[in-house]
A and B are shown apart, each in its own frame.
Chain A
Amino acid sequence: MEKDQYKGWLYLLPAALFLAAFLVYPLVDVFVYSMEEGYNFASQKSYGTGLYNFSYVLHDPYFLQAVKNTFVMVVITVPLSTGIALLISVGLCSIEPLRKLFQTVYFLPYVTNTLAVGLVFMVLFKKTAYSDGLINMLINFFGGESVDFIDGPHAAKMFVMCLYIIWVVMPFKILLLTSAISSVDPNYYNAARVDGTPPFRIFYKITLPMISPTLFYLIITGFIGAFKEYSNAVALFGTDLNSAGMNTIVGYVYDMLYGDSGGYPSYASAAAIILFTIVLTITYLNLTVSKKHTYY
């Protein structure tokens, strides 16, 4: 039995080694980096410790722009995508024919490469010298002016951005909500129907409370995901997000780390830590709210 005691550890060893090297050590290290002032990649030296990196990042106009963009994306996409997903899921659960087909179709964006499909959105919305693009044709048809959604005004870019984010995040939300709704005990509905309860009231008084844990789970993960938005922006506007004015906080972190503007792991670390302070705060607020309103 003596030997067996250590056998279990042997099975855990590979996972433990990888986790230590690529998850635990980096987590500690990111805080070290963030405190090292003037860290230089080439000489591997810094000239002091302190909070200067944070102050630099917080005064960087690119960072402030990124924070603003990220908040706009969060505030628009989280409520809209959750709301629309809820509507669609309720609709899906109330029909029998074609339900499977709809579910399959709705799931497609989940298994597509978002970088690749982003190019399709770009083509649809872009205004070039040869063509105004399909969406502008539609706008013209209804009597509007053509807008360049990809290189044009900031609001137009933000519109495509949010639309694309919603398109990408919907499958997951629809999937979870439909399975939550269809697992509500049908007896509740039968009882309500005997009492002649109108459909909207059934939804509000039975369905919504019963699926509230899933709903809050989606809202919380939705917030976290939206705060970490990055690759969808790259998909639409290319890698130089700063000059497109569409950078996000995560994008700022990576730009500081690598690429033409890169080489500053300390600034990147400081920005990443600021991001997670924001995310933790929002998640904490979400959890506080959800505790009050969730029915288990």
Chain B
Amino acid sequence: MKQTASKPHNTSAIIRKAITYTGLAVWALMVLFPFYWMLLTSVKSYSEYNSEYVPKFYASSPTVQNFLDAFSTVPLGRYLVNTLVFTLITTAVMLIVVTLSAYGFARLSFPGKDLVFTLFLALMMIPNELVVITNFVTITDLHMRNSFAGLILPSVTSVFYIYLLKESFAQVPDALYFAAKVDGTSDLKYLWKVMIPICRPTLITVGILKVIECWNSYIWPRLITDDQAYFLVSNGIQEIRENGFGRENIPAMMAAVVVISVPLLVLFLCFREKIMAGVSRGGTKG
């Protein structure tokens, strides 16, 4: 917008353009390089990697052996399945819980609604690090350590997503609701048949953000699981790093890193616009 493009009428404008592109390219390189390096290392054979005192920027004889090792030597498949189950259940349950209360706040009227909504918003300010201590004790006392229930239960509500959805629900015209009421449609049916289809974009955004969060979660799973059978990928990769492939098998480790990173990268490339719009509305991490 700043320079109406196309006509760099003098040399200083051209120089400015060149500097801009160089700077942007440098940062792009810094972002991409770790990805390139993990891919490259993951296809180098163990002996090739360890014989290179000066690391090479190419693999002279690419191999998939490391990927086979990653799945056979350490339970990477198990970690992936666990993470998938955890992510899907958490996201599904959260969507139900969040949708119901957003609908309650946006459409139904009952005494004390505004007060409760204000209280909910106030809860957004409670930092996770403060409550995790007691949650850890609660889950331990309920004997839910090393179980999916223990992993999932504390993260199935999010006040922020309730707020986001409520805003979206509130934009659906009231007339639709009253028309449905006249026809004798129940509230739940109205939610299912009208509200959810209309607000599907917001629901998808919330769902994707939650999936990213679940896939990358580390702290809670680490506290609550010490049995490898329940490890998620983040804990799995830590386990692999500390006592995985025996003597420093970096290529196999990188293969595991590639396998863990690919699902989200694919998800991102498929839903690029949605994810970026969603994060700028409701993202954290920064």
Contact = CB atoms under 8 A, between A and B. Distances in A.
A110 B233 contact: no
B264 A111 contact: yes
Interface of A: 4-12, 14-16, 18-19, 21-27, 29-30, 33, 84, 87-88, 91-96, 98, 102-117, 119-121, 123-124, 128, 130-134, 137, 167-173, 175-176, 179, 182, 184, 186, 189, 199, 202, 218, 221-222, 225, 228, 230-231, 234, 238-239, 250, 253-254, 257-258, 265, 268-269, 272-273, 275-276, 279
A86 B99 CA distance: 36
Most buried by A among B32, B134, B284: B134
Given A88-B24, A115-B216, A184-B1, 17 more contacts: A22-B131, A105-B31, A113-B261, A114-B216, A114-B218, A115-B237, A119-B241, A120-B35, A123-B253, A131-B54, A132-B53, A167-B34, A170-B27, A221-B286, A238-B241, A258-B136, A265-B133
A3 B27 CA distance: 60
A11 B216 contact: no
A26 B50 CA distance: 49
Give the dominant DSSP class at B's interface.
helix
Contacts of B254: 119-120, 123
What are the nearest 7 A-B pairs in CB distance?
A8-B110, A11-B104, A26-B134, A172-B286, A26-B131, A8-B108, A15-B101
Nearest to A96: B5
A23 B126 contact: yes
Contact of A112 (B27, B53, B264): B264
B238 A239 contact: yes
Interface in B236-286: 237-238, 241-242, 248, 250, 253-254, 256-257, 260-261, 264-265, 267-268, 272, 275-276, 279-280, 283-286
Interface of B: 1-3, 5, 16-17, 20-21, 23-24, 27-28, 30-32, 34-35, 37-38, 41, 50, 52-55, 96-98, 100-101, 103-105, 108-111, 113, 116, 120, 123, 126-127, 129-138, 153-154, 156-157, 159, 162, 187, 212, 215-216, 218-219, 222-223, 233-234, 237-238, 241-242, 248, 250, 253-254, 256-257, 260-261, 264-265, 267-268, 272, 275-276, 279-280, 283-286
